[in-house]
Structure 1
Amino acid sequence: MADYDLRAQALAARLLAPKAAGGKGQQITLVHQSAGTYDPATSQLTGAGAVTQITSGVVSEYKEKSRGGLQRIDGSLVQSGDRNIRISPVTVDGSTLAPGPQLDDTVTLATGQSYTITQVSIIAPAGLTLYYDCNIRGVT
């Protein structure tokens, strides 16, 4: 892996870090519900439960119209009230998110607001994850 790839990942992690740590983001809690694995031979379900990870990210609101007059809020994939979050692949303790954010995971912001992930894009030039770009929708 090239040195510049590692520098790009380190820069992204610094920018997405909480403001208290010198970044532009906030601490977030990511909860992934694992369905587990069923073993038909033993009729046992193993590995089921919640995986909770503390990381950081930057939250922004969608604009009604973006550059060029294209709408970001389309009423189906992105609805009014949805927000965009860029999640760091690095947890607050310096390890890597495992698993990364997935559909239907819960994101809780530092303010206590909870959201459900409805879309996930992995931003990984040269195969090295810089951040996860997600659409989140308020939990009702």
Structure 2
Amino acid sequence: MADIYDRAKAQAARMLAPRSAGGKGLELTLRRTVVGEYDPDTGSSETITDYIGSGLRENYRMEDIDGSLVKAGDVRFMVSPVLLNGDDMPEPKTLDKVLFDGETYTVQRCDPGDYAGLSCFFYVQARK
């Protein structure tokens, strides 16, 4: 049964791949900042990790904007489950950043398209 979900994941990765690779998406970066112990060599306690993947951005419909959970200006990304290097994309978390088409967005929430424990894509609500 897992085979059908593997095929769904592969299909989503192909469709959400950057246009240069034959897909419908654009390159995006998921930036995760983790606060840890202070490192005197770097002068910081933050570790920033960039995950280079791809996806699509769309605006919310007017009827979806409620002013509290979804605000005017929020966007929704459909993010590929696979990074450009072929590794799995980690599930986006609240307060991660999404760098897409020259803009930076903050993740508000993530709704994974998760089938039988396998993430086939991620819907990400993000805000500037």
Q: TM-score, normalised by structure 1?
A: 0.81
What is residue 81 of structure 2 aligned with on the other side?
89
Percent identical residues: 39
Question: Any unmatched runs of 5+ in structure 1?
Answer: 39-46, 66-71
1:77 to 69, 72, 95: 69
Structure 1 residue aligned with 2:6: 6
TM-score by length of 2: 0.88
Tell me, yes or no, if the aligned pair for 2:76 and 2:124 is still in contact at 8 Å. yes
2:42 equivalent in structure 1: none
- After TM superposition, what 4+ stretches of structure 1 lie above 6 angstroms from structure 2? none
3-state SS of paired residue (2:62): coil
Compare CA radii of gyration and give the structure with the larger one. Answer: 1
Pair 1:135-2:122 in alignment: no
Per the TM alignment, residue 19 of structure 1 is displaced from its structure 2 partner at its CA by 1.2
CA distance in 2, matches of 1:37, 1:6: 38
Give unpaired runs (5+ residues) of structure 2: 39-44
For residues 55-110 of structure 1, give each alpha carbon's deviation from its aligned partner in whole angstroms, at most 9, with x where no partner exists.
00111001112xxxxxx10101110010000111210010112x42110011011x
- Aligned-pair CA distance for 1:7: 0.6
Alignment of 1:1-140 (within 5 A): 2-36=2-36, 48-65=46-63, 72-97=64-89, 99-109=90-100, 111-138=101-128
Alpha-carbon deviations, 1:97-138, whole Å to 9, x = none? Answer: 2x42110011011x2111000111111111110111110101
What is the root-mean-square deviation of aligned Cα atoms in Å? Answer: 1.7
C-alpha separation in 2, matches of 1:2 and 1:58? 26
**Aligned amino acid, residue 107 of structure 2:** I
1:115 aligns to what SS in structure 2? Answer: strand
User: Would the aligned equivalents of 2:16 and 2:54 in 1 still touch at CA under 8 Å?
Assistant: yes
Q: What secondary structure sits across from 1:74 in the alignment?
A: coil
> Which residue identity lines up with residue 112 of structure 1 in the other structure?
G
More strand by share: 2
Q: Secondary structure at the match of 2:88?
A: coil
How far off its partner does 1:36 sit? 3.2
